[in-house]
């Protein structure tokens, strides 16, 4: 049943030109160089250190690795991270 719902949502996004991140509950990631990353539509912080930020998503986790991380803004579904970003990874395991 969930796969059917996902297919219908995808079809609606394509046909009605709706924003996929909002309709499919996907994260929206805006990165400015290697210095800033802004993430919307996350489900909470799992872990944070100066070298790693791990966020819960609807399906899986988002892992950001680097150095000298500082959380500049944190809201229930949004976060702004500053530091030297080395990589952004999607981990399907929950």
Domain that holds residue 67: 25-91
> Is position 1 within any domain?
no
CA distance readout (Å), 19 to 15, 45, 65, 88: 11, 24, 28, 22
In the prediction, which pLDDT does 9 show? 64
In a domain, residue 13? The reply is no
> Is 45 among the domain residues?
yes
Give residue 7's pLDDT band: very low, low, confident or very high (50, 70, 90). confident
Asked if the structure places residue 56 within a domain, the reply is: yes
From its phi and psi, is residue 13 left (phi > 0), alpha (psi between -120 and 50) or beta?
A: alpha
Within a domain: residue 69?
Answer: yes
Q: For position 30, which CATH number holds? A: 2.60.40.2000
pLDDT (0 to 100) of residue 92: 84
The predicted-structure confidence for 15-72, as pLDDT tens digits, reads as follows 666 555 555 578 899 999 999 999 999 999 999 999 999 999 988 999 999 999 999 9
Decide if 29 is inside a domain.
yes
Residue 53 belongs to some domain of the structure: yes
Domain count, the chain: 1
Q: Is residue 3 part of a domain?
A: no
């Amino acid at each position: 049943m969930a796969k059917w719902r996902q297919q219908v949502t995808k079809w609606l996004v394509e046909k009605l030109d709706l924003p996929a991140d909002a309709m499919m509950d996907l994260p929206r990631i805006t990165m400015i160089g290697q210095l800033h990353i802004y993430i919307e539509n996350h489900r909470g912080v799992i872990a944070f250190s100066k070298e790693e930020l791990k966020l819960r998503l609807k399906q899986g986790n988002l892992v950001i690795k680097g150095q000298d991380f500082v959380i500049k803004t944190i809201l229930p579904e949004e976060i702004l991270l500053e530091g030297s970003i080395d990589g952004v990874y999607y981990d399907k395991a929950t």
